[in-house]
Amino acid sequence: MWHGRFREDTAEIVQKFTQSLDMDWRLAKYDIYGSIAHARMLGESGIIAAEESQLLERGLRQVLEEIQKGIFVPKESLEDVHMNIEARLTELIGPVGAKLHTGRSRNDQSATTVRLFLRKEMVDVGDGLLMLMESLIDRATAHRTTIVPGYTHLQQAQPISMGHYWMSHFWAFSRDLRRVLFALESMDECPLGAGALAGSTLPLDRDFTAKLLGFRKPTDNSLDSVSHRDHMLDCQYALAMIMLHVSRLSEDLVIYSSREFGWLDLPDSFCTGSSMMPQKKNPDVLELARGRTGGVFGDLVNLTVTLKALPSTYNRDMQEDKRPLWNSLQVVRDVLEVMPSLVARVDINQEKALESFREGFALATDVAEYLVMKGVPFREAHAKVGRAVRWCLDNYKELQELSLEEWKKLIPEVEEDLMKLLSLEQAVNRRNTYGGTSFKQVSLQIERGVKLLEDYRGQLASYPAKFVL
């Protein structure tokens, strides 16, 4: 494609070093879609004859058919997906094939192709997130009135509704879905027609191609169009955050299902055993999801470091922008395929969960806040309850076991009305502030979550995978 300038052919070792087919052959379909739109525009604008435009489109569709049937095997000597397709097109239709690249550089061509590919991929990621969030809603509904310990510093803190716990992860993944939608919005501009860096002297109709390819508008600046990869970083960051939240959820489920906690039960079909110890039930799926998170974080760093000090506009370093992102997409796709089904089958052993509250003093904060309502300053109430807990520890008693007389000896401000408050269900249901753990508030969260899922579905549907072609 550049032999006119050079006295020597490209060395074979250089061809091998610079090829990108291992990364970009998966883009073939989208490259052809972009080329069809470009060919139509060339014909509509009178840059080439209408018959030539139609011939280019027929040839491109034939190339696509050959690729889909596995007939067309790309050549490494042609470097990338773009040149392989153009070369095969020219073989099929003759010299007119050489007109396809009129008014176009691989810089704007590749930028457009990647956006078309990522649009479909990120919509799929969004759909996977919706499935995981639906599973969390399902579990929250099933466990709305199930009481389990809540933890800080991995120490028992306060009783909570298990439905409240599941919804905490729902809201984290909802933020991830907003990040996916932001990434989709950031790539919703068409670079086609920006050329190598400065646009073209030819009368290209960039609005025409943008509309054909389903973009909201053309990009605004030709230099910026081929310089930046912000949309790829937006995708990469969204994927990293998804994995961060998957990893945290996985960590919780691994811990709560361990013998030491024992009140959460993982489905057998999503666990493995030990080759030596017959009794083992290992949470391998969750551990692998947690383990693969580091690689996605590394991919984010990889891409940011590649881009951090490049001069404007296009530099060959940017060929490597796809490698980390492709890896992250694969990891997240795999994780979102397995996690919804796993979460949907997690169950709770309520008896063990309640038993785990023994000697945990999870109602201490309730007593302190009871004293606040009696006019005791919180810090003073905190100290009084702390001393009562210390007395219970020394005397092998729990707060719920204390009689009214014992309470009055420990804290004179206590009255009989405290006694009816010292139950786990009361503790949960009295936390009825917006976003709190009461059964009522969890129900309201679930209602909001269901409506939010419908809204997200609509937003994802506005980024079609199909094109006006």
Q: What is the pLDDT of residues 101-154, one digit of tens each?
A: 999 999 999 999 999 999 999 999 999 999 999 999 999 999 999 999 999 999
CB neighbour list of residue 361: distance below 8 Å, 6 or more residues apart: 156, 389, 392, 398, 399
Quick check: 2 pLDDT over 50? no
Is 464's pLDDT higher than 60?
yes
Is it the case that residue 304 has pLDDT exceeding 70?
A: yes
Q: Mean pLDDT over residues 226-238, rounded?
A: 97
What is the domain partition of the chain in residue ranges?
Answer: 12-102, 112-145+160-202+220-354, 364-421
Mean pLDDT of 367-376: 95
Whole-number average pLDDT of the chain:
94
Rounded to the nearest angstrom, the gap between the alpha carbon of residue 82 and the centroid of all alpha carbons in its chain is 29
Architecture (CATH level 2) of domain 112-145+160-202+220-354: Up-down Bundle (1.20)
**Is 274 an active-site residue?**
yes
- State how far the Cα of 185 lies from the Cα of 189, in Å rounded to an integer: 8
Among the residue ranges 3-12, 94-103, 165-174, 356-365, the one predicted with the least confidence is 3-12
Active-site annotation holds for 153: yes
Q: How many CA atoms lie within 13 A of 108 on its CB side?
A: 30
Tens digit of each residue's pLDDT (9 = 90 or more) over 331-350: 999 999 999 999 999 999 99
* Catalytic entry in 110, 222, 225, 274: 274
Write the pLDDT tens digit of every residue in 168-204.
999 999 999 999 999 999 999 999 999 999 999 999 9
- Which pLDDT score, from 0 to 100, does residue 3 have? 54
CATH architecture of the domain with residue range 12-102: Orthogonal Bundle (1.10)
In tens, the pLDDT along 375-406 reads 999 999 999 999 999 999 999 999 989 999 99
Burial class (CB in 10 A: 0-12, 13-18, 19+), 21: middle
pLDDT for the residue numbered 360: 78
| Pairwise CA distance, residues 429 & 161, whole Å | 9
The pLDDT value recorded for residue 468 is: 64
| pLDDT tens profile 50-102 | 999 999 999 999 999 999 999 999 998 898 999 999 999 999 999 999 999 99
* Fold that domain 364-421 belongs to in CATH: Ribonucleotide Reductase Protein R1; domain 1 (1.10.40)
Percentage of the chain surpassing pLDDT 90? Answer: 89
Using DSSP, state whether 73 is helix, strand or coil: coil
pLDDT class of 433 with cuts at 50, 70, 90: very high
SS3 315: coil
Selecting among 3, 153, 269, 275, the annotated active-site residue is 153
The alpha carbon of residue 459 and the mean position of all alpha carbons in its chain are separated, in whole angstroms, by: 16
In a 3-state reduction of DSSP, which class is residue 8? coil
